[in-house]
Amino acid sequence: MKNRIKVFRAMHDLTQENLANALGVTRQTILAIEKGKYDPSLDLAFKIARYFKVSIEEVFSYEGQLPGS
Amino acid sequence: MRRNSFYILAGIVGLALVGIFWLSVEIYNPTLITVAFIAGIVLLYWLRTRISDRIEDERTILISQKSAMRTIEVFWVVFFAISLGGRTRARCTGAPQTTPPAPGRGPYPARSSRFYADDAPLPDDLPLCRVQDVLRTAIRRVGHR
């Protein structure tokens, strides 16, 4: 799953640590999400989107194929 | 308390437990190390709750769960293999059988091979794993002559 967290972070002038503290996760988790090594839970994904005051689709994009398509 | 301070304190507690273990061996008091170990772990768990830096979130919990699953997967294989080896060894060394021997076959010989004379033929029902012990003992006897 791709995401634009780094872009939104830059727009809001936030470090990974600041964002992690605001969301209640570790800096390593934010780093792993930005690098695409970890997909956040639904709860965390919504928290990220709400923190940046955007919809979840603007932050995360699903690129996998649905079965049968 | 910062995370690094916790790690330093954990090292100090570990060293203290090593010292208490040594002391308990010296004064032959096993209760001391038992109580000290439990107290040390409780102390470390309490200190862990005092850490101001966040060290646990959904990702770390997931990693811990996966690590625990892998550990269990590896552990049961190793544990079962060692148990099988131990059981096999117990049967080979003539440990008391829990089931009666098959009809027509006598009990396995005792661990020591002193029951066999130097020139006595090996019994037909001697397990192959015991042959090694018998030969080893015979070679030692030849060496002592």
Cβ of A25 within 8 Å of Cβ of B55? The answer is: no
Whether the per-residue pLDDT at B121 is higher than 90: the answer is no
Q: What was the pLDDT predicted at B89?
A: 81
Q: What was the pLDDT predicted at B117?
A: 54
Whether the per-residue pLDDT at B115 is higher than 70: the answer is no
**What ipTM was assigned to the predicted interfaces of this complex?**
0.75
Question: What token pair was written down for B17?
Answer: 């437990």
Q: What is the maximum alpha-carbon separation in chain A? A: 42
Q: Which residues of B touch A44 (CB under 8 A)?
A: 58
Cβ of B54 within 8 Å of Cβ of A40? The answer is: no
Burial label, A44 (beta-carbon count in 10 A; 0-12, 13-18, 19+): buried
3-class state of residue A8 by DSSP: helix
B40 touches B16 (CB < 8 A): yes
Q: Which residues of B touch A32 (CB under 8 A)?
A: 59
Whether the per-residue pLDDT at B111 is higher than 70: the answer is no
Chain B closest CA to A32's CA: distance in Å? 9
3-class state of residue A11 by DSSP: helix
Name the residue facing B58 among A20, A21, A44 (closest C-beta).
A44
pLDDT in tens, B11-37: 999 999 999 999 999 998 899 999 999
Q: Region B33-53: what's the mean pLDDT?
A: 91
Cβ of B54 within 8 Å of Cβ of A32? The answer is: no
CA-based R_g, chain A, Å: 12
Q: What was the pLDDT predicted at A43?
A: 93
Contacting B residues, span 45-104, partner chain A, CB-CB under 8 Å: 54-60
pLDDT tens, N- to C-terminus, chain A (69 residues): 889 999 999 999 999 999 999 999 999 999 999 999 999 999 999 999 999 999 999 999 987 777 776
DSSP string, chain B: --HHHHHHHHHHHHHHHHHHHHHHHHTT-HHHHHHHHHHHHHHHHHHHHT-SS----HHHHHHHHHHHHHHHHHHHHHHHHHHHHHHHHHHHTTPPPSSPPPTT-PPPPPSS-TTS-TTPPPPTT--HHHHHHHHHHHHHHHHH-
A25 touches B57 (CB < 8 A): yes
Cβ of B58 within 8 Å of Cβ of A41? The answer is: yes
Average pLDDT across chain A, whole number: 90
Q: What was the pLDDT predicted at B140?
A: 76
Name the residue facing A24 among B55, B57, B60 (closest C-beta).
B57
Which backbone phi and psi does B3 adopt, to 5 degrees?
Answer: -65, -40
pLDDT in tens, B54-110: 677 889 899 999 999 999 999 999 999 999 998 888 776 655 555 555 666 555 554
Q: What was the pLDDT predicted at B50?
A: 87
